[in-house]
Amino acid sequence: MKRIGMLTSGGDCQALNAAMRGVVKTLANADEEVEIYGFLDGYRGLIYGNFRMLSSSDFSGILTKGGTILGSSRTPFKLIREPDENGVDKVEAMKQNYHKLKLDCLVILGGNGTHKTANLLREEGLNVVTLPKTIDNDLWGTDMTFGFQSAVDIATECIDCIHTTASSHGRVFIVEVMGHKVGWLTLNAGMAGGADIILLPEIPYDINKVVEAIKKRTERGSRFTILAVAEGAISKEDAKLSKKEYKEKMKNNPYPSVSYEVAAKIQKLTGQEVRVTVPGHTQRGGSPCPYDRVFASRLGAEAGKLILKGEYGFMVGIKNREIVKVPLEDVAGKLKMVDPDATIVKEAKLLGISFGD
């Protein structure tokens, strides 16, 4: 009999349930008997021993369900070695609970921070298999993460809806898309939604270039302009600051986010009305799109196969449309950024999209 622990950590997203279902259905269809221990609220459940036994019925009917049936929470990697408020050694507690339940493997679904901790547990001697979830699509070692395409669909629909009101009122509209450090979501949703200007964390913008792009549209007879702005977009001036200087500046920033700062500057320099729309956590919510349902199911099936074969220490990802296993040590601590010279960026510029650079 194999005893498998399972948890979802970090921010939630679509297709977490679909991925877990894929793992469990694969294991259930094998001849070997399996017990599934679901840890509640991410690593917190593993630390404090909060879990429940799961049966195949728990994974029935959840393919289309958003969120996670296990609950999730953020357990920052930078604090993982620090004792909690009661002096509990988090890493040691996770190891003890793993061994107390006589687990053969942990299946961990998460993004960058989650993978750092998963790799730490691997280094501590635990058997781990991970699945790449994040709407940011910024995990190293995989071309795609599940949750990303669903979020692109939602952000794109938001931009689509803005088009009608923007054209009716002749305004400049900014749609702020999630993405603190990377701009994959904003880039794809911006292109899909026909945004005129896209601002990304990886391509610092010049507000004068942004205004120039807006004025060109006005001169050509366009009554409106739509900007897709990543929440982590940064100006060229701010990009030159040290992390400490930038953090200090943001403490005194009167704007709730970068989009409102960009809006204020555009309005001042052009005299045009500017409105900001922030879809926020709606981008994480709702049912997974068909692509994510299929993709997460494939990843789950391959993870189940690795478990049955006793191959641990890998993230299951996708490369060139084929599912692959990637060593955890190659994934942990790395971000997959948008390359300013990437072909998709060059193609967007050929379409007339401005990046404010």
Write out the two tokens for 301.
């099936």
Write out the two tokens for 245.
């200087």
Beta strand extents in the chain (DSSP E only): 2-8, 34-39, 51-54, 105-110, 128-132, 172-177, 197-199, 225-230, 274-277, 314-319, 322-327
Give how far Cα 121 sits from Cα of 47, 205, 241, Å.
12, 40, 35
Catalytic annotation present for 153: no
d(CA 356, CA 169): 24
d(CA 222, CA 202): 28
d(CA 171, CA 345): 26
From the CB of residue 247, how many other CB atoms can be counted at a distance below 10 Å? 10
Give me the count of residues in the chain.
357
From the CB of residue 213, how many other CB atoms can be counted at a distance below 10 Å? 18
From 41, 58, 136, 153, active-site residue: 136
Query: Catalytic positions, please?
Result: 136
